[in-house]
Amino acid sequence: MDSPPASPAPVPEAIERARTFARPALEQSVGRLHPDLARVCGYYFGWCDAEGTPTHGRGSRSLQACMVMLAAEASGEDPHVALPGAVAVELLHNFTLLHDDIIDGDTIRRGRPAAWVTFGTGTSLLAADALWAAAFSALIEVPGTAGRATASALNTSMGVIINAVAGEAVFDRTPAAEVDVDAYLAICETKGGELLGTAATVGTLLAGGPAAQARSLREAARHAGAAWQATNDLENIWGNAALVGKPGFQDLRQRKHTLPVIAALQSGHPAARALRGLLEKEELDEADLTRAADLIEESGGRAFTEQIAQGRLARALGTLADMRLPDPAHRNLADLLDFTVTRRPRTPSGKK
């Protein structure tokens, strides 16, 4: 869910603050790993190049850590009570990215070669495993009941995400015309929003905040996650490759059943038939991919997906507004949810 670390694109103040907030503890956790694994992780976090030389960049955006921090602040606490949670969630987020790239065979992440391409499958797989252990080690020693409760919530989340990844693979081998759009959206919500939602739970629990706040923030985060997945699907076809940190048309090339494709193929529009024929070709060249994008647009797949993305972001922000949190807590959380989807800071008036 992060963009290339080299990108100088501006981010909301809270996200910049979260990066500074979490990084020393994150570096400490990663620094305790075997040096070969620490290098893979440092590369993924955008702290160093493939040889381990520091890049002096700001590293990846810590959206998950930001949610933990803001949820703690929304509970009226100093965010430092939630630092172990911010570290755990950020480590687990990178665990999922490392394994996902292996599972999907994605070769580019955050604008650089994926870790398995650079370091090999075995080392990358193992580095991710090490992040999981490090994540739970950060949480499980937190005194009182919060350590166990947050570790349990995160562990449950990981199980839910893993099942969703398996579910997505089933969709990819189901004929697109038979894919249930709502079931697909549920997977989008989990893949894009489950961890962010649990980050809200973790931050609230560590700060001793109210259960109702945790529930609402979690719901808002899951809506934003679904909106981001839809946006990601759009960007992969019509967007800026730099925004998603992956080459254009990658999903189409891999015949992934993304939302625009499913919507197009199920539209009943005459262009859908041409699209189906095109996607059955053995090899898709650039001209085919451009033609496929046009057919998806013509049959309404793009508009449908844009509507989902906008609708889910609106629901995320609406759920947040219903919480009636005071500023700056409300404003920061709105900035984060919006940025999670659009990857652009809102203007001061909240308009783009």
Chain residues in the site for a copy of itself (CB under 8 A): 33-34, 36-37, 99, 102-105, 121-123, 125-126, 129-130, 132-134, 136-137, 140-141, 147-148, 151-152, 155-156, 158-159, 162-163, 165-167, 169-170
- Give helix then strand counts, H and E, for the chain: 16, 2
**Minimum CB distance to a copy of itself smaller for 162 or for 212:** 162
- The rounded distance, in Å, linking the Cα atoms of 239 and 246 is 11
| Cβ at position 96, least distance to a copy of itself in Å | 9
**Minimum CB distance to a copy of itself smaller for 28 or for 156:** 156
The secondary structure element, H or E, covering residue 201 is helix 181-206
| Cβ at position 327, least distance to a copy of itself in Å | 37
φ, ψ for residue 109, nearest 5 deg: -140, 130
User: At a CB cut-off of 8 Å and minimum separation 6, what does 219 contact?
Assistant: 197, 319
Measured in whole angstroms, the distance separating CA 281 from the mean position of its chain's CA atoms is 31
**Minimum CB distance to a copy of itself smaller for 121 or for 240:** 121
**Minimum CB distance to a copy of itself smaller for 19 or for 39:** 39
What residue type is 62 in one-letter code?
Answer: S
**Minimum CB distance to a copy of itself smaller for 47 or for 171:** 171
| Cβ at position 148, least distance to a copy of itself in Å | 5
**Minimum CB distance to a copy of itself smaller for 38 or for 220:** 38
User: At a CB cut-off of 8 Å and minimum separation 6, what does 267 contact?
Assistant: 299, 300, 301, 304
- The rounded distance, in Å, linking the Cα atoms of 338 and 42 is 27
| Cβ at position 6, least distance to a copy of itself in Å | 28
Measured at the CA of 160, the angle between CA 321 and CA 184, to 5 degrees, comes to 75
**Minimum CB distance to a copy of itself smaller for 170 or for 211:** 170
| Cβ at position 30, least distance to a copy of itself in Å | 12
Cis peptide leading into 24, omega within 30 of 0?
no
| Cβ at position 145, least distance to a copy of itself in Å | 10
Token couple for 221: 């985060």
Torsion sign, CA atoms 114, 115, 118, 122? negative
Q: Can you name the residues that pair with 109 across neighbouring β-strands?
A: 112
